[in-house]
Amino acid sequence: LRTPLASLDGMLELLAEDLQSDAPDLEDAREMLGRARAQSRRLARLAVDLLDLSRLDAQVQMRSEPIELGELSRAVLAEFELGTAERGIVSELEGSGHPVWALGDPGSIARILRILLDNAVRVTPDGGEIAVELHDGEQASLTVRDHGPGVAPEERELIFERFQRGRATVGQAGFGLGLAIGRELARRMGGELVFEDHDGPGARFTLRLALARAPESGPIPVG
């Protein structure tokens, strides 16, 4: 918390000094304001991560119910449309041709998918591609793949630990908490979140959960 707070405080102090001068440099002020807002958003993300960790450590009870992964994935992907469109990144959902039902907590599954998509968007170059793949077999699975730099073999378990990040993400926003939160949420639902070895560029992260029967009343809305 201290690092982004100190950075934000310094930017606001410089901005205040600039605006109090007789001839403020508005261009510099706009740049400083943009950087301050970026730090503010970074702090907001950290607050969400720390709240998630506190809930996990407190063993807060999670729901367990049938969730249709296709409907949930489309809703979460829509949250990223503006940011991906601005950078020319194509994001798509690759389903199995039929609904894929998993047993779990809807808010936690959506949180894991947001974590994976946020990471994918940050590492994917402008004009790249991101995909969410859904499959069912012995388990229901949701995979997010990107066209970023990938993850070094020696870092593929390290990145799931708290406050640990891969070398490929150095210089980017983040605190190394997302994947740790995602893996713990998956385990609390009786599933797993793993990095998948594969041929080709980028990274693949897969969430596996127990299969569920579709409820007779239809899909459960995602809150």
pLDDT bucket at 15, cuts 50 / 70 / 90: confident
Is the Cβ–Cβ distance between 147 and 201 less than 8 Å?
yes
Task: Check if the beta carbon of residue 67 is closer than 8 Å to that of residue 102.
Answer: yes
Task: Give the gyration radius of the chain's Cα atoms.
Answer: 20
Q: Tell me the C-alpha distance between 129 and 94, whole Å.
A: 13
Q: Report how far residue 180's alpha carbon sits from residue 5's, in angstroms, rounded to the nearest whole number.
A: 23
Q: Measured in Å, how far apart are the chain's first and last C-alpha atoms? A: 29
pTM: 0.76
C-beta of residue 139 within 8 angstroms of C-beta of residue 98: no
Question: Are residues 87 and 129 in contact, defined by beta-carbon separation less than 8 angstroms?
Answer: no
Query: What are the pLDDT digits (tens) for 139-154?
Result: 999 999 998 888 888 8
Gap between the Cα atoms of 45 and 55, Å rounded: 16
Give the per-residue pLDDT at 174: 58
pLDDT in tens, 203-221: 999 999 999 987 775 555 5
d(CA 169, CA 173): 8
